[in-house]
Chain A
C-alpha cells in the first residue's frame, strides 16, 4: 500500500532525493547510517545546508519562511530525509518554540527569533519537566518573580535534551501561585549564557549524555522575553505539545529503520540461510510495517486537517503513542537480528574517530544502546499513560 502520488508529487520526491544526494555531507551521512554519535557541528552544518535551501521549517506559514508544501509533500520530505540518513532536524526551534512564537509572540520576538531559528544561529532547548513535575507538568515549581524590567528565575529543570549545546531555552516558569496550578505558569525565553545557569549532564543507561539537569540561581531574564501574556503559559505549552506529538510519530525514521532491519537480517545467518528468509522473522517485520502503514494513514489525515487551518487536536496523542511504540518495536527487531552481537558494549565504538576493528559486524555496535535509549520515547513528551488519559478525556469524554 504505497502512498498514491500525483506525477507532481513524484517529481517532488525526486527533487528532494536529489537534494539529499547532492547536499548531505558523506561524513555526516555515515555517522547517522551507522548510529554513531553526532557532534553539535554535525547537526548545525546540516541544518544550515537545509536552511539555505529554504527547507528547514516547511510547516511554518510562508510569510515566516515556511515552504507552503502540501501535507503529503511535507510527509515525503520527512521520509526522504530519514531514508537518506540525514541527521534529524532539532525540533526545539523549528517544531516547538517557533510555532509558539508565530502564534503568540509579539512582532519584535518574531522578527528577532524566527530568522535565527531558520539560520540555525540559535540552538534551542526545552525547559519543561522538573524532578517533582513530570507527568504532572503543571505542578512545576521554577519561580520567576518580577524585579523592575526583569524576571528573576530560581529553580531547576530536568531531562533537558542538548542543554549543553543550547543558546536559548524556552521555559515554563511559575509566576503565580494563585488559583489553579495551570493558571500561574508563564512561557519565558531564557538566554543560556545568562549568569546563574548551570547545566549538569545526566548519564543514561545506554551510556549517552544528551540529557541534563539545568539549575537556575537568580537568573535575570528581561521581561521582553515573556511570550504572550503572563500566567497564560499553559495554553502555549499545550499548543506546543500538540505540535510536538505530530512530529514525534517520526514515520520516515521508522521506515528507514525497518529497511535497516531488512538489510541486517539479510546478512545475519541462521543455519547458513539469511535470517530474512526465516518465516517467523519475516512475519515480525510485516507486523510492524502494517502498524506503520496504519499510523501513516492517520498522520496524513492530521496533516491535511492542519493545512486546512485546523491545528492538531487531542487525536495527535494517538500519533505520539503509536509512533513511539512502533519505534521501540523496531529497536527490538534490530536487537533480535544481531543475536550474540547485541552483548558487546564498547562505548568508544560509537565515536566517529574510533579506529579499531569492530567486534563482530560493523552494524552491531549501536543496536543494543539504541534499544535501551529508545525506552525513553514512551516516557518523554507526555508518557504513553498521559497520552491515553488525554484521549480518554478529551476525545472519548470519559
Chain B
C-alpha cells in the first residue's frame, strides 16, 4: 500500500533511499559503529548539504520549513539503512527545542550551525528514577549571583558523548507530579563540572550518562521561560516519538524484505521453507502489522504536526508508540525465528535491525507506558 506523498516528499524519499543504498552499506555501518565517534562526521556534512538537517527548521535560518510528515519520510528511509548519525538527538530533539522556545539570539546563533552540521546538540531529560516520565526531574538549578548552578544526573543522553551542547531539564519547584517548575538550560560540553560517562547502546548507537556537578550557567543559557518547560518537552518528545516510529517503519520494511528473501531461498525437506503454509501465514501477520503501522504513523505525523489540540496530539503520539511497540515486537521476533540460527548471528544484518527495532519500542516509553498515557488522556 502506498502512502500518498507530495512531489517534494517523493524526491526526498528517493534521495535518502539512494544514499542509503549506495553510500551506507551494512559493512560501512559496522565500521562506523566501532569508530571513536560512532558515526561519520563526513557523512554528517553530506546530510547537511542534502538539506536533511534543516528539513524542519525555519527558512530564515537556512532550513526548509518542512513538516513532521517530512521528518517521517526522512527517518523511514534512514531506518532502512540503520543510519547511526545523530539526526534524532541533534535535530529532532535539540534543534526542535530551540525552534520552539529559543530566544531569537539563541536561534540565530545555534540553529544555522545545526543545519550546516558544525554544531551537535543533545537533549538530557531522563534520570535514573524518572523512567519514562517527563515531569520526573530531580536535577536542580539554584539561582546564583551570575545566573544558575546546575546539579544532578541525566541518563541515556542520546549521542551525549559527541554533542557540543547539551540541553538539560531541571526542576526548580515542586515534585514529579507538578508540570510547573521545570526549566531548560543549554550547557556547553566543556563547561566545568560536566562529567560524561559515554557508552555504546545495544543497537550500535552511542549515549552517555552525564553528571552535572555545580555547573555554572548564566541567564543566557536559559532556554524558554523559567519553570514553564514541561509543555515544550512533551511536544518535542511526542514529535520525536513519531519520528522514531517512522524510523521503525523503515527498519521493519528492511526486516520484512530480508525475511521474505530468506524463506523463499532457504530449502529444507526439499522445498523452500516459504512454501509452508504456517510460515506464509506468519509472514502475512508480519506484513499486516507493518502496513497498519505505516499507515498509522503517517496519519499521526500529520495530526501531531498540525493539530491545535494538545490532547489530540498527545493521544496520536501515544497511540502510534503502542502500535509500533506491538508491531515491532512481532515483526522483530518473528524475523529472527524465521531466519533460524542465521538470525541469531552478528554477521547477518537482520539481527542488527532487530536490535534497533527493539530499542525503538522502548525509547521514550514502551507500549505499556503509552497505553496508560493514551488511556489517561480520556476516551
Contact = CB atoms under 8 A, between A and B. Distances in A.
Interface of A: 129, 132-136, 139, 158-159, 202-205, 207, 211, 268-272, 275, 280-281, 335-336, 339-346, 359-360, 368-369, 371-372, 375-376, 378-380, 383-385, 388
B340 A135 contact: yes
Contact of A205 (B201, B267, B355): B355
Interface of B: 126, 128-129, 131-133, 136, 155-156, 176-177, 197, 199-203, 207, 209, 267-269, 273, 276, 278-279, 333, 336-337, 340-341, 343-347, 351-352, 354-355, 358-359, 362-363, 366, 368, 372
Contacts of A359: 197, 199, 209
Contacts of B197: 359
Question: Which of A158, A280, A336, A339 is packed against the most chain B CB atoms within 10 Å?
Answer: A339
Nearest to B368: A280
Contact of A204 (B273, B345, B363): B345
Nearest to B352: A205
A131 to B, nearest CB: 9
B358 to A, nearest CB: 8
Nearest to B176: A271
A340 B202 CA distance: 11
Contact of B346 (A139, A207, A270, A385): A207
Given A134-B268, A375-B344, 8 more contacts: A205-B352, A270-B133, A272-B129, A336-B362, A340-B132, A359-B199, A360-B155, A375-B336
Contact of B345 (A203, A268, A344): A203
Contacts of B267: 132
Question: Which of A211, A272, A388 is packed against the most chain B CB atoms within 10 Å?
Answer: A272
B376 to A, nearest CB: 12
B96 to A, nearest CB: 20
Nearest to B200: A345
Describe A's contact surface by its main secondary structure.
mixed
Given A270-B131, A372-B355, A158 B341 contact: yes
The 9 closest A-B pairs by CB, nearest first: A205-B351, A136-B268, A203-B346, A345-B202, A340-B156, A343-B201, A339-B131, A344-B199, A136-B269
A368 B361 CA distance: 13
B30 to A, nearest CB: 12
B340 A379 contact: yes
Contacts of A346: 199-200
A352 to B, nearest CB: 19
A344 B155 CA distance: 10
A342 B366 CA distance: 12
Contact of B340 (A134, A272, A275, A372): A134
Given A203-B346, A342-B362, A343-B201, A380 B368 contact: no
B344 A379 contact: yes
Contact of A344 (B201, B276, B355): B201
A359 to B, nearest CB: 6
Given A343-B156, A383-B337, A205 B133 contact: no
A82 to B, nearest CB: 24
B171 to A, nearest CB: 14
Given A269-B129, A341-B155, A379-B341, A135 B268 contact: yes
A360 B127 CA distance: 10
Nearest to A158: B341
A379 B341 CA distance: 7
Contacts of A388: 278
16 contacts: A202-B347, A205-B345, A269-B129, A271-B131, A271-B136, A280-B372, A335-B362, A339-B131, A342-B202, A343-B207, A369-B202, A372-B202, A372-B351, A372-B355, A375-B344, A379-B343
Contacts of A375: 333, 336-337, 343-344
A15 B335 CA distance: 45
B284 to A, nearest CB: 15
Nearest to B209: A359
A204 B346 CA distance: 5
Contacts of A268: 131
A351 to B, nearest CB: 15
Nearest to B129: A269
Contacts of B209: 344, 359-360
B283 to A, nearest CB: 13
Contacts of B358: 371-372
Contacts of A207: 346
